[in-house]
């Protein structure tokens, strides 16, 4: 997996801020074992898979390139999400000591959707020939 970079931090602040119905990182961390949390994460994972399928049909660059024979379960999505949150938290602590408290506050208010998508992109990067525009 690629390491999270500080460049992604502004994206969290601008794009990852929770909306009314989104599951926040803070809520996810408090309720990781809950059925509702699992259903939400599974639903987001499936939505990203469908988005990828639509991009492929339209011959657009994919969000991520999961091997065709690999099916992802709720457990896989949760692992990817946990690793991405852990990596981003570590990155904030190591690279933003002055703003660490503010970034961590924002991280807990951010929607988990952003982190799941970033985790899928990092776990299953597309080869340059697949996404020549990226």
Query: What is the tens place of the pLDDT at every residue in 63-108?
Result: 999 988 888 999 999 999 999 999 988 888 888 777 887 888 888 8
For the chain, how many structural domains are there in total? 1
Nearest in space to 14 (alpha carbons), one of 88, 87, 109, 84? 109
Q: Is residue 85 part of a domain?
A: yes
What is the pTM for the complete model shown?
Answer: 0.79
**Cα–Cα distance list, 97 to 6, 21, 32, 75, 102 (Å):** 12, 31, 27, 33, 10
Range of the domain at 86: 13-123
Residue 37 confidence (pLDDT): 96
Query: Which pLDDT tens digit goes with each residue over 26-76?
Result: 999 999 999 999 999 999 999 999 999 999 999 999 999 998 888 899 999
Q: Is residue 132 part of a domain?
A: no
Q: Is residue 6 part of a domain?
A: no
Q: Is residue 59 part of a domain?
A: yes
């Amino acid at each position: 997996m690629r390491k999270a970079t500080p460049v992604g931090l502004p994206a969290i602040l601008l794009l990852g801020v929770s909306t009314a119905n989104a599951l926040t990182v803070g809520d996810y961390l408090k309720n990781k074992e809950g059925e509702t949390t699992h259903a939400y994460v599974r639903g987001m994972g499936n939505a990203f898979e469908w988005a990828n399928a639509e991009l492929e049909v339209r011959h657009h660059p994919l969000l991520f390139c999961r091997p065709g024979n690999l099916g992802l379960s709720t457990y896989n999505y949760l692992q990817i999400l946990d690793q991405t949150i852990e990596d981003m938290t570590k990155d904030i602590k190591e690279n933003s000591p002055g703003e660490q408290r503010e970034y961590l506050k924002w991280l807990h208010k951010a929607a988990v959707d952003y982190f799941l998508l970033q985790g899928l992109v990092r776990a299953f990067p597309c080869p340059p020939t697949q996404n020549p525009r990226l």
